Each structure stands twice: as C-alpha cells, then as structure tokens.
Amino acid sequence: MGTKIKGVRAICTAPEGINLLVVKVETDEPGLYGLGCATFAYRHLAVKTVIEEYLDPLLKGREVDRIEDLWQLMHQNGYWRNGPIANNAISGVDMALWDIKGKMAGMPLYQLFGGKCREGIPVYRHADGRNLEELCENIERFQDMGITHIRCQCGGYGGESYGTVPQTAPRGAQPGVYLDEQEYLHDTVVLFAGIREKLGYKIQLVHDVHERVSPMTALRLARALEPYELFFLEDPVSIEETNWLRRLREQTDIPIALGELFNHPCEWKTLIAQNLIDYIRVHISQIGGITPARKLQIFAEQYGVKTAWHGPGDMSPLAHAANIHIDLAAPNFGVQEWSGIEPPNYVIQELSGLKGALLEVFPGLPEFKDGYVYANEQPGLGVTINEKEAAKYPCSSPVTVWTQTRRRDGALQTP
C-alpha cells in the first residue's frame, strides 16, 4: 500500500496585494505534504471552488505517486476540458504531487527531470519609465544587478490610464484603457531607437505588444523594429489571430515569442511544428501544471523552439520555483521572465515592504544573484508556506480594470 492523499485544500493570500492561490495536498504519512500554484488572480474564488468542492473528494484516498494518472483523471472528470479555471485548479494539485514526489525521493525536482543542464537561470526583468531618460536609468539599474535581458516599455503597454475617455471617442463612449495603435507603433520605434543610441547593442532587449494592436500594425511594428535587434517580440498577435504568424514570418526576421494565454495543446502544436514562433511563453498553471509543461518543453525541443515561461507577479513563488526547476533540466531553455523576487538585501534597498511580506509567507524562494536565479537544493520544489503569515494578507475581489482595453472608437480590444 502506497502513500495516499488525505485531503486537498486551497490557501488564498495576497502579500503583494495580488491574489495568489496555493494548493496544499496532505497525505496519510505524518508531516508529508506538497504545495502547488493554482493562481488565477482575477477569478481565484472560482478556482478555489473547483479545488475544494470537486478535486478534494475526487482525490481522497488515491495514491500520491500516480501523478500522470491523477492528472488525466482531474482533466477528464469534468467532461469539458482545457479552460483556465479547471487548468489552474489541476495545476495546484499537480505541482503539489511533484513536490511530494521530490520529498519522497529526497531530491530537488530538477533531479527527477534528468538533472541540470546549467547551474543558474538567466532572467529578464521589466523596465518601464515615463520617458526615455527614466527608462534608460531603470535599464542601467538592472544592468548593475547583472541582468543582461530586459523587457522595455514606456507607459505600460501604451494605453492611457483606466477611466479616461479621449476627446476623439464618440459621445457616450465607455471608460477603459484607451489605445491609439498608430501612436503606439510610432512611439515604440522611437523608444527603441533611443535606447540603442544611449546604451548600445550589448544588452538584449525584449518588447511585449500584449496583443493590443491589429495584425497588420503588428507586422509593421516588427519590420520597423528590426534595426534594433530585439531578443524577441512578445505576443505580437492574439491567440485568435495566430494565422497571421505565417505572414509575419515571411516578411520579418524578428524573433517571436507567444503563448502566455494558451490553455490547450491545439493552440501551440502547429505553431511549434511549423516553426512559426521562436519562444514558447506559456503560463504553466494555465495549462495544468508541471506535467503538461514538461511535455510541451520536450515537444518544443524537437523543433528548435526555446522556452521562455511566463513569470509575472500574478503567480505564486511555487510557480516561479516550478519554472526554475524545469529550466534547469531543459536543453531548449531560452530565458526566464522574473518578476522581482529578490533576496532580502534587494528587498530592503530597492523594493516595497510588501516584497518582505512575500518572503515571510513563502520561505525558501529561489535565489537571485548577479543576473541568475538558483534553485535552493531542498527536496521537491523547495518552497514552503507560513499559513499564519499568509492569513494576514487576505485576497479581495474587485472588478478588474486593466483588461478593459479599448480602441479609439470605444470598441474593446484584447488586453
């Protein structure tokens, strides 16, 4: 008789003011449990319901070492499959089962994936600014920290702040984050020309379109950015318009990264197999956790597509750790997005007190040092949770406004 699942529960916490959802899988072996990330920050209560009302009774009494079988069971049990709410719920359990597997083996998770291909993980950070000068100052600050890859934006993703309605909009237009894509195209090209003029070509630059423009504008933007040698252009088109990638491929040699909104293998299989993208950018809890992410990484390797997993602030440290463990063992690793989880010296010197709270809630975070992130070598994912500290930072459910992006005529645009 193997070790069995005693119970599955969700822990909601927001130590940085962003809703995080962690799954704890407890076993019938005293002291043995696993943690995983199920964070869907904007629908966390729906995910929590799936975990506690459906997955907990489904999984109780089942053996913890049957990870693949349990993943398939959770995936198929609701009949309709591959949505973000169900996938995130499955992810939390899946990561926790891998965490348990590592603890039972007495090994950090990357060892179960075949061991290290590299010692540390190079990461990229986000630099923003109100203008070119402020942006370049922020880039240089990251360079001083050893960061060699930097994503550059000016004024977020190019839109105005929520609540404004431009004078050019029709009477009665709804509030939102308004974007003029022609203005955005021009300003972005001027911005990257300025960065290269000031800082040269030794640093690797990334830009995120965030699906916020039409495919034709994305094509024009990609061609215009070619002289500035971007490491990659992220999400130039939406997942509904990936048929445009072939045309983009034919007309520009700029590297393309895509995938943070992907849920289903059918969304990436053709893009990878036909070499229409260079970097796969999925949010691993969004596709169901470590089990499908490893399959995707291995599939992408066969076609020369590299990984650049999504690593924003709206995912828990468990998911950041999962990214790092997969990265360490992946021959086709490209670069890792890193949202700024630093060791205490950076927290004290540069970041808000909320980052300190994150460290109190989640002991064992991967370590950032001189441009690289390192796993902490503890068994499993290596990250724990202090539930008493987590309870100090309750989640909230406000109406999400940053996704309410609109074109100049007031019509909604994918965010």
Superfamily (CATH) of domain 5-108: Enolase-like, N-terminal domain (3.30.390.10)
pLDDT of residue 341: 60
Mean pLDDT of 184-208: 96
Mean pLDDT score across all residues of the chain: 93
CA distance 107 to 57: 29
- Nearest-CA neighbor of 245 among 124, 254, 193, 287? 254
Asked whether the beta carbons of 268 and 282 are under 8 A apart, the reply is yes
Annotation marks residue 157 as catalytic? yes
User: What does the pLDDT look like over 59-68, one tens digit per residue?
Assistant: 999 999 999 9
In the chain, domain spans: 5-108, 111-379
Q: Which residues of 184-195 are buried (b: 16+ CB within 10 A; e: fewer)?
A: bbeebbebbebb
Asked whether the beta carbons of 236 and 222 are under 8 A apart, the reply is yes
Q: Residue 385: is its pLDDT beyond 50?
A: yes
Superfamily (CATH) of domain 111-379: Enolase-like C-terminal domain (3.20.20.120)
pLDDT of residue 344: 37
pLDDT of residue 349: 33
Annotation marks residue 264 as catalytic? no
pLDDT of residue 283: 97
Q: Residue 88: is its pLDDT beyond 90?
A: yes
pLDDT of residue 352: 39
pLDDT of residue 345: 33
Asked whether the beta carbons of 384 and 362 are under 8 A apart, the reply is yes
pLDDT of residue 162: 79
Query: Active-site residue among 210, 283, 310, 325?
Result: 210
Mean pLDDT of 257-285: 97
pLDDT of residue 355: 58
Q: Residue 168: is its pLDDT beyond 70?
A: yes
Query: Active-site residue among 33, 110, 124, 157?
Result: 157
pTM for the full predicted model = 0.94
- Nearest-CA neighbor of 84 among 281, 289, 273? 289
Q: Residue 415: is its pLDDT beyond 90?
A: no
User: What does the pLDDT look like over 304-353, one tens digit per residue?
Assistant: 999 999 999 899 999 999 999 999 999 999 999 998 665 433 333 333 34
